[in-house]
Amino acid sequence: MAPPALLLGLALLTGMGNGAATPIWCFTRLEEAEGGGACTEPLGEEPLPLADCCLNPTHGYRLHPHGHCRSCRPGAWGPWEPWSRCSVSCGEGAQRRGRSRRPPGGQPGDNSEWQLRACDTGCCPGGTRGVGRSRSRRCDSPEPSRDPPGAPCPGNASQSDPCPGLPPCPVDGAWGAWSQATPCPVTCGLGGVVLSRACDAPAPKHGGRGSRDPCPAPVHWGPWSPWSPCAKPWNDVRCRRAVGQQRRTRGCVGHSPGGPVCPTDGDGGGTIQVRACYNIHNCVMPGNWSDWSHWGLCPPPCGASPTRSRSRECRPILPDYAPTVSHVGSAGSSEVSFWGEPRALCPSPPPGGALNETRPCRNVPPCPHPEEDGGSR
């Protein structure tokens, strides 16, 4: 069963149609009001595809930097009503929910929308009680008279009891806290301590994850993808004093429908990040020779005539482009990053004429025999 958030995301992207790739200016805060709203807190300085911006339905956007502010929500739909009760009390059935909207300008039209999803009540929540089934009746065969007042019908208007014989629902396990470290087994040198934890917060029940397979990992953010190439719609920003835009994404690892979600604060949390950039990839620019690197190791470690080496390299002189760019439509600014590997041109030859130096390693002790070090090498 698709979660409600996924259903809404699919509805948003479907409603956009071919306009999903239209470059727009995206904002993370939309202050909605009658007839429109105010967009604040831009998501980057350059246009984004509409589909990327509206992955979050709370975002707003403008078709032009100072244009009318629009909501990523499709139309002016109101909130979804709660899901109806499952159509059956035992087994697989269906649930429906709807929402409505005020037509723009009072024009007539279909102002209701419905969603339908499957539901399954074929198990006992928590494994303690059965799913309830009920029936009701009305006092209308005949109704009691009003004048003079008649006696109400005897008995109850409804009955309910649990569904018998249903299996318990599985409960997934989760990792508990780490134990204290064991004492160090050595009094000097390098030793190792052990910390342990159990899949008991809660413990798995009734075949849930962690019963026979590994305990599920806590929900967490996956690694960020590499930054996309620095670019700008309609313009070539490579090797120029022109600001482009990059983005990167990440996923929420371990999330399941209805379960805990990844945090969205504390680290600029979210599924997408955008930054301003200068594209210097493969751009030819002047360079300078670096200082000598530190001396390296002495290979071979147990062979004849070990030597060490150091080197220097031609590094580019980055252009003096503006380090920040002002926000579009709001106060504040953002840092601009250089992106790409430029081609540096340095004076030839470098001072001293050498790019690499080697020296012999002196006073090298002999390597121990395996019998002398316990066979560890």
pLDDT of 20 reads 57
Cα→Cα distances 23→38, 47, 53, 63, 124, Å: 19, 5, 10, 8, 50
**Is residue 10 over pLDDT 50?**
no
Cα→Cα distances 295→301, 302, 350, Å: 15, 19, 19
Residues sharing a CB contact under 8 Å with residue 269, sequence separation 6 or more, in sequence order:
221, 262, 263
Dist. CA 257–CA 87, nearest whole Å: 21
**Residue 130 pLDDT level (bands cut at 50, 70, 90):** very low
Which helix (H) or strand (E) segment holds residue 12: the answer is helix 4-16
What number is the average pLDDT over the span 211-220?
A: 81
Taking only the tens place, the pLDDT of each residue in 45-54 is: 788 888 888 8
What number is the average pLDDT over the span 115-137?
A: 63
For the entire predicted model, the pTM comes to 0.47
- Stronger pLDDT, 371 or 209, i.e. the higher one: 209
The owner of tokens 């059956």 is 88
Q: Is the peptide bond before 349 cis (omega within 30 degrees of 0)?
A: yes
Dist. CA 195–CA 184, nearest whole Å: 12
- Stronger pLDDT, 10 or 282, i.e. the higher one: 282
